[in-house]
């Protein structure tokens, strides 16, 4: 058993062929495609992505859904705007997630994923019941498309996430493990968390970051280039080997500066290529 190749989490929105050429210029041939909330998912978009993927042989393992109106500025903003948690947008976001699943199916991608937001911890709350129902329906739709549905980690401790997954009780409900999010949201040591969620991990983000400032309960930590934050990428890769993970190591780098982003991805890829052997 061996870890998969280095991959990349990247976003649609520009010309698909140009987007894939840029990723491949980094020596990366696999990864995860994020779909902005306002992107039109019509037949023309499917066709353009299908052609670009066929022409390059690029392998997508996941399509990520994001939603209009999400705001990641700080913890209260995330709580009130992200994923399946805000009540007013639940219906519209459920519909959108099913559309993303169909889009991914048209491209032959075996999994979808998203941040569902902070899982309501009270098992008897109406919000919790509503979100459980929503995740079940997305899972069932994805299953009909032959897909897994993965929850991005980070916004709650591993134990809460595992309890939630057990309650939803769908065999294709999985985890996209992002070690940096556990740190950015201050939810726990990511390597210990990985042990707890290991049976559910279908894909990973290789991202780094620092803990939130001490004593501040609303700020998020800062994302860093791979190897420069508090994750301990060596530890993370060793743990992935230990749990028998075999998928790609998808670098995620979220800074605005496009040039610096590419430099950081190149460095990150070199680091991961050294560690994965």
State the minimum distance, in angstroms, from the CB of residue 64 to Mg ion.
Answer: 9
Q: By Cβ distance, which residue is nearest to Mg ion?
A: 178
178 is an interface residue for Mg ion by CB under 5 A: yes
93 is an interface residue for Mg ion by CB under 5 A: no
Q: CA 121 to CA 111: how far, in whole Å? A: 26
Identity of the residue, 142 or 151, whose beta carbon is nearer to Mg ion in the bound complex: 151
State the minimum distance, in angstroms, from the CB of residue 195 to Mg ion.
Answer: 19
Closest C-alpha to 152, from 250, 243, 56, 240: 250
State the minimum distance, in angstroms, from the CB of residue 209 to Mg ion.
Answer: 10
Region from 14-22, 45-53, 182-190, 203-211 binding Mg ion, contact rule CB under 5 A: 203-211
Contact 101, 113 (CB under 8 A): no
Region from 89-97, 162-170, 187-195, 199-207 binding Mg ion, contact rule CB under 5 A: 199-207
Q: How many residues bind Mg ion (CB under 5 A)?
A: 3
Among 96, 141, 205, 253, binds Mg ion (CB under 5 A): 205
Closest C-alpha to 11, from 209, 253, 186: 253
Q: CA 271 to CA 268: how far, in whole Å? A: 5
Q: Which residues contact 231 (CB under 8 A, 6 or more apart)?
A: 179, 180, 183, 190, 207, 208, 209
Q: Which residues contact 210 (CB under 8 A, 6 or more apart)?
A: 183, 184, 221, 222, 224, 229, 230
State the minimum distance, in angstroms, from the CB of residue 124 to Mg ion.
Answer: 30
223 is an interface residue for Mg ion by CB under 5 A: no
Window 6-45: contact mask with Mg ion (x via CB under 5 A): ----------------------------------------
Q: CA 9 to CA 92: how far, in whole Å? A: 25
Residue 144 DSSP SS3: helix
| Binding residues for Mg ion restricted to 112-151, rule: CB under 5 A | none
Q: Which parts of this chain interact with Mg ion (CB under 5 A)?
A: 178, 205, 252
């Amino acid at each position: 058993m061996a870890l998969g190749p280095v991959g990349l989490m990247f976003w649609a929105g520009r010309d698909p062929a140009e987007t894939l050429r840029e990723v491949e210029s980094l020596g990366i041939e696999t990864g995860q495609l994020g779909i902005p909330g306002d992107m039109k998912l019509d037949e023309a978009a499917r066709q353009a992505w299908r052609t670009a993927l066929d022409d390059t042989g690029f392998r997508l393992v996941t399509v990520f859904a994001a939603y209009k109106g999400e705001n990641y500025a700080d913890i209260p903003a995330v709580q009130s705007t992200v994923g399946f948690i805000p009540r007013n947008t639940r219906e519209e976001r459920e519909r959108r997630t099913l559309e993303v699943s169909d889009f991914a199916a048209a491209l032959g991608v075996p999994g979808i994923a998203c941040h569902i937001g902070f899982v309501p911890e009270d098992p008897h709350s109406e919000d919790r019941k509503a979100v459980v129902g929503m995740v079940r329906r997305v899972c069932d739709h994805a299953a009909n498309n032959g897909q897994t549905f993965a929850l991005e980690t980070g916004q709650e401790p591993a134990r809460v996430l595992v309890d939630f997954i057990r309650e939803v009780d769908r065999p294709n409900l999985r985890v996209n493990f992002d070690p940096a999010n556990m740190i950015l949201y201050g939810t726990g040591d990511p390597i210990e968390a990985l042990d707890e969620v290991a049976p559910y991990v279908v894909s990973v983000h290789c991202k780094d970051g620092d803990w939130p400032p001490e004593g501040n309960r609303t700020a998020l930590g800062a994302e860093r280039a791979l190897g420069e934050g508090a994750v301990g990428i060596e530890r993370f890769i060793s743990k992935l080997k230990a749990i028998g993970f075999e998928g790609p190591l998808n670098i995620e780098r979220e800074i605005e500066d496009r040039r610096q982003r590419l430099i950081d991805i190149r460095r990150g890829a070199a680091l991961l290529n050294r560690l994965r052997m």
